[in-house]
Amino acid sequence: MKTATACIVYRSAPLRQVLLGRKQYGFGNGKYGGFGGKVEPGEAPEDAAARELAEEAGLVASPADLELVARLTFLFPYRPAWDHRVFAFWVHRWQGEPRPSAEMVPCWFDVSELPYDAMWDDARFWLPLVLAGKRFDATFVFRADNDTVDRAEFQMWPADGQEAQRAS
């Protein structure tokens, strides 16, 4: 199973907003999502997330400024090559301004107006929980269309945050 990352860049002043990117090609083409990608062999998920954020959005963040908020497993029974596990990180601090890359075009969205209809179907299940401060493991099983969630399972982490100090 492939391992990947996703960064949730959030700002709260003056409005509560999330930075999403519209994928320009490849897996998820045309959909909005967080910034992230494959974890290279020997690379820590935090390092991969910071690298991908810089490559895709032009934002520089230290791995120490990333907080693991979810471990997401995506299962595609009708296309198993797409199965992957994603470490989702909350980005607390960064430097720079979002800029388009060949892969992603960044756009700020008010939290109340997130484009769930233009995102992977799973986002409507897990992203509101992250935005509400929840931390968890989740598994999503997709239907034969490889686009719609058939089943979602969640295991919430203890409130003290001891479940996951690091992604590894």
pLDDT in tens, 113-166: 999 999 999 999 999 999 999 999 999 999 999 999 999 999 999 986 555 544
Residue 68, domain CATH: 3.90.79.10
| Inside any domain, residue 166 | no
Share of the chain above pLDDT 70, in %: 94
| Inside any domain, residue 161 | no
Q: Which amino acid is at 135?
A: R
Mean pLDDT over all residues of the chain?
94
How far apart CA 131 and CA 114 sit, in angstroms, is 11
pLDDT given for residue 92 in this prediction: 82
**Average pLDDT of span 76-93:** 96
Q: Which amino acid is at 55?
A: E
> What contacts 159, CB < 8 A, 6 or more positions away?
none
pLDDT given for residue 159 in this prediction: 80
The alpha-helical segments, DSSP class H, found in 17-145 are: 45-57, 123-131
Residue 168 binned pLDDT confidence (cut-offs 50, 70, 90)? very low
Residue 18 binned pLDDT confidence (cut-offs 50, 70, 90)? very high
Q: Looking at the predicted structure, is the pLDDT value of residue 37 above 80?
A: yes
| Inside any domain, residue 63 | yes
pLDDT given for residue 13 in this prediction: 75
pLDDT given for residue 163 in this prediction: 54
**Average pLDDT of span 19-25:** 96
| Inside any domain, residue 79 | yes
Q: Which domain holds residue 136?
A: 2-156
| Inside any domain, residue 20 | yes
| Inside any domain, residue 167 | no
Number of compact structural domains in the chain: 1
Taking the chain, what is the end-to-end CA distance rounded to the nearest angstrom? 15
